[in-house]
Amino acid sequence: MPGSGTDKTKRWVEEPSPIVILVEPQLGDNIGTCARAMANFGLSELRLVKPRDPWPNDRAYVTASGANRVLDNVKLYDSVKDAIADCTLVLATTARAHDQAKPVVSAEEAARVMQPRIGAGENVAILFGREKWGLENDEVGLADQIVTLPVNPAFASLNLAQAVLILGYEWFKLATENKLPFAMPQRSPGVKKEQLQAFFDNLERELEKVEFFRPAEKKPTMQVNLQNIFHRMAPTQQDIQTLQGVIMAIAHGRKGPARGGSMDGAEAAALRTLLAEHSEGTTRATRAPARGLSRLLRRNPTEAERILWDALTKDRRFAGQGFKRQVPIGPYIADLVSIPLRTVIDVVPADESEEAAKTRAKKREWMAARDYRIVPLTAQDIENDVTSVLAKVEKALAA
């Protein structure tokens, strides 16, 4: 799967690379993880010297995580001498000083030593020792150079696959000239100063409203500091558009079925009362809801509507039932409606006026005549116990 980093649609790197030789590996799991590390960095040839368990090994294929190409071409040898017989340069990895007079190099330097020899078509090998005690002294003696790593001297032992991974990484980094596989996409051009200044003007205008620039004598310095923050970011046009939207959303209040748009719960309830007393804002000519009215109500829910909607959308019993908020139906606006179920949930506010109650009765009569089922709920019941209210809605739908 490309998303996990293993993408079979891309070319497998098959450039000349060092030969990895594992001396007497004990566990098939370790051989598999070494193969995985090799595949990560384009190393393709793996040789095993007297593995403890029979080969092929099922556990190796499991832990290789798809690096089967490396395991399928494994070669077996009876001794280190046989394994390196066709090599012109051999490096031995060890965490211990073997008191042998030969060059000691880091993983990075080892990659530089190997590159010209491999480029010339020679076989170059890296020896890795046993899991428990590494390479024997005489095996290190067969190598031309020693590779070691700057590790904690009190805990210098690396897992076999970790050691292979580090050497493979340094090799591949050098071979590919440290080129990364991808870079940050440039999806939007850099912001023009004109757009950036408009953003600053808007930001400062909103900050003035909340008296951010205090004390007054520090305002110029604070303005410069704010501008420097965004200049250092080197934002794109899309970045500024997004930040502009964030600022306006904070300044004007959140929209949708969260908590209020530009009104609080009490103001939203007062708006509904006013609309109910005036036929919900319908026009005389069309008897249809005024344009934008349903959107206004949807963006500014009452406290009861917010609680009910939040509970309804999180309850699996009502998933896929098609409920929507503040939807125009003919000349009226339903608090909640499911068109597929032909069901309207009508939320009655507390202390409803006589005129509003008459309008509500007309609305219910009109909808019932058009085969809509009405489920009446009171705002007080919703706010007191929304769980019981949802049970009532479920019962009404089942009926």
Superfamily for domain range 265-398: VSR Endonuclease (3.40.960.10)
Task: Give the angle 10-16-17 at the CA atoms, nearest 5°.
Answer: 95
Q: Is the bond preceding residue 328 a cis peptide, omega within 30 degrees?
A: no
Mean pLDDT by groups of 10 residues along the chain of 399 residues:
57 85 96 96 95 94 93 96 97 90 95 96 96 92 95 89 96 91 80 91 89 89 93 90 87 54 69 69 49 75 89 89 87 89 92 85 91 93 93 90
The reported pLDDT for the residue numbered 283 is: 46
Taking a C-beta distance cutoff of 8 angstroms, is the pair 297, 271 a contact? yes
The reported pLDDT for the residue numbered 260 is: 45
Q: How far apart are CA 392 and CA 377, in angstroms?
A: 9
Superfamily for domain range 13-175: SPOUT methyltransferase, trefoil knot domain (3.40.1280.10)
Q: Which of 127, 91, 128, 140 lies closest to 111, judged by CA?
A: 91
Name the DSSP letter for residue 259.
Answer: S
Q: Which of 253, 231, 250, 251 lies closest to 240, judged by CA?
A: 231
Instruction: Dig out the tokens for 223 from the structure.
Output: 């303005």
The reported pLDDT for the residue numbered 331 is: 80
Number of CB atoms found within 10 A of residue 109's CB: 14
Q: How far apart are CA 307 and CA 379, in angstroms?
A: 10
